[in-house]
């Protein structure tokens, strides 16, 4: 049975569930950063998903990428399945700007997270939730 990893749970806010993936907002106000977690037990790699799940992941990842890009007008997307700290398969979708604090380095491990003010997080969560509700 799927159960969200505790660390992922602690570091993020729940946005919504797409057909396959749970979508989370990373609690770091330095980057618009969504995380997709396929709701499948015991998977660590994209290739651990079966073929239908991989297809569905591709669709949901593409949708989330479009939403992020459209909402943020970012310079670049960073899409990555790393999992060196948290084994449970989760795929980062980060909107990057040439003026962000980590550019051009990756966002991981270079600077501590800056948590959102709760009001700001609430607004973002609602906005993303509305957009993701349009998933077809």
Based on CB atoms, which residue is closest to a second copy, 85 or 123?
Answer: 85
Choosing from 8, 80, 113, 121, the residue that interacts with a second copy (CB under 8 A) is 80
Based on CB atoms, which residue is closest to a second copy, 29 or 56?
Answer: 56
Is residue 100 within 8 A of residue 55, CB to CB? The reply is no
Tell me: does residue 56 bind a second copy (CB under 8 A): no
Distance CA 56, CA 62 (A): 10
How wide is the angle at C-alpha 70 spanned by C-alphas 68 and 72, nearest 5°? 65
Tell me: does residue 112 bind a second copy (CB under 8 A): no
Tell me: does residue 58 bind a second copy (CB under 8 A): yes
Q: Choose one: 16-24, 28-36, 71-79, 123-131; the region binding a second copy (CB under 8 A).
A: 71-79
For 98, counting Cβ atoms within 10 Å of its Cβ (0-12 exposed, 13-18 middle, 19+ buried), the class is exposed
């Amino acid at each position: 049975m799927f159960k969200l990893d505790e660390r992922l749970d602690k570091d993020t806010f729940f946005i919504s569930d797409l057909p396959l993936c749970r979508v989370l907002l990373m609690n770091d106000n330095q980057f618009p950063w969504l995380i997709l977690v396929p709701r499948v037990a015991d998977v660590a790699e994209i290739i651990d998903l079966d073929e239908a799940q991989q297809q569905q992941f591709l669709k949901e990842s593409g949708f989330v990428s479009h939403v992020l890009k459209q909402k943020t007008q970012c310079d670049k997307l960073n899409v990555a399945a790393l999992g060196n700290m948290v084994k449970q398969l989760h795929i980062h979708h980060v909107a990057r700007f040439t003026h962000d604090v980590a550019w051009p380095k990756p966002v991981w491990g270079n600077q501590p997270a800056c948590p959102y003010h709760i009001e700001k997080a609430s607004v973002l969560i609602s906005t993303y939730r509305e957009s993701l509700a349009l998933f077809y």
